A and B are shown apart, each in its own frame.
Chain A
Amino acid sequence: GENVEQHPSTLSVQEGDSAVIKCTYSDSASNYFPWYKQELGKRPQLIIDIRSNVGEKKDQRIAVTLNKTAKHFSLHITETQPEDSAVYFCAATPDNYGQNFVFGPGTRLSVLP
């Protein structure tokens, strides 16, 4: 089955700096890769996703890159703000409309003012 690793487990950056979180997956059949953000005490929410036919996707200050050959994908947050502080989860699934996502263990991002 799919196995997703995520690094780092914790990340602290100064406000305005960039943050990068990296994930690797094991199943070459995976073709959909979402990222979820979970603020303290709140539910996880989708912030961006990418499919295997695309190498990069941007949405304002966040971007995701995918390297299918190396089986890794990354979340990039630029110009970080205190409200970016949260736990971020990557996930992979072998089917765009697959019934199950395999999540990484999460990265706790702290943006220091």
Chain B
Amino acid sequence: DVKVTQSSRYLVKRTGEKVFLECVQDMDHENMFWYRQDPGLGLRLIYFSYDVKMKEKGDIPEGYSVSREKKERFSLILESASTNQTSMYLCASRSTGRAEAFFGQGTRLTVV
């Protein structure tokens, strides 16, 4: 079974803090994604990466950055957390040449 694991299920951070969300996949997938999930808005893409050290902006990259130093790990960074970044964050991975994306269990981030 493909495993996509996010480092935390729940996080509470203060406004202005730098926040790191980690995602690890164990199936040697080339492509990894970070989505934000909000009620009524579905899954919105923040950033994705198709290879180590490569990254592409998604639909809502403002206020976020990413890092992919190793193939299996994709990190989402909130440089200075704000209350409007309170949300559920989902990581996903997919193999090039295969259509199905596999999701992590999600991290519910609350910024106070």
Contact = CB atoms under 8 A, between A and B. Distances in A.
Mutual binders A and B: yes
A97 B48 contact: no
Which among B43, B44, B98 has the greatest number of chain A C-beta atoms within 10 A? B43
Contacts of B99: 32, 34, 49, 96-97
Contact of A44 (B56, B97, B103): B103
A103 B105 CA distance: 18
Contacts, number: 50
A105 B56 contact: no
B40 A100 contact: no
B98 A97 contact: yes
A97 B59 CA distance: 19
Interface string B1-30: 000100000000000000000000000000
A1 B44 CA distance: 13
B103 A45 contact: yes
B42 A43 contact: no
Contact of A104 (B42, B45, B59): B42
A105 B40 contact: yes
Interface string A1-34: 1000010010000000000000000000000101
The prevalent SS among residues of A at the interface is loop
B38 to A, nearest CB: 9
Interface residues of A, number: 22
A100 B33 contact: yes
A45 B106 CA distance: 13
Given A43-B105, A45-B103, A46-B101, A99 B43 contact: no
A105 B106 CA distance: 17
B58 A103 contact: no
B75 interface: no
A33 to B, nearest CB: 10
Interface string A26-56: 0000001010000000111110010000000
A89 interface: yes
6 tightest Cβ-Cβ pairs between the two chains A and B: A105-B42, A43-B103, A103-B43, A103-B42, A46-B100, A106-B42
Given A9-B40, A34-B99, A99-B50, 13 more contacts: A32-B99, A43-B90, A43-B106, A44-B90, A46-B101, A89-B43, A96-B99, A97-B96, A100-B33, A100-B48, A101-B101, A106-B42, A106-B43
